[in-house]
Amino acid sequence: MPVAKTSAAKSPTGKTKSQPKPVVKASRPAKPKASKTKAAKGGYDPVAPERVKDILNRLDQRYPNVRCALHHNNAWELLIATILSAQCTDVMVNKVTPGLFQKYPMPQAMAAASQEELEPILRPTGFYRNKAKSVVGASKAIVENFGGQVPDEMDKLLTLPGVARKTANVVLGSWFGQAVGVVVDTHVHRISRRLELTKADDPKTIEQDLMKVIPQPKWIDFSHQIIHHGRALCIARRPKCAECPLENICHAADKTWSTVEIHKAAQP
- The set of catalytic residues is 166, 185
CB neighbour burial string for 137-150, b if at least 16 within 10 angstroms, e if fewer: bbbbbbbeebeeeb
Task: Kindly report the length of the chain.
Answer: 268
Contact 153, 142 (CB under 8 A): no
- Smallest CA-to-CA distance from 105 within 139, 58, 138 is with 139
User: Using CA atoms, how far apart are residues 150 and 95, in angstroms rounded to an integer?
Assistant: 23
Whole-number Cα distances in Å, 134 to 29, 38, 79, 184: 69, 45, 11, 20
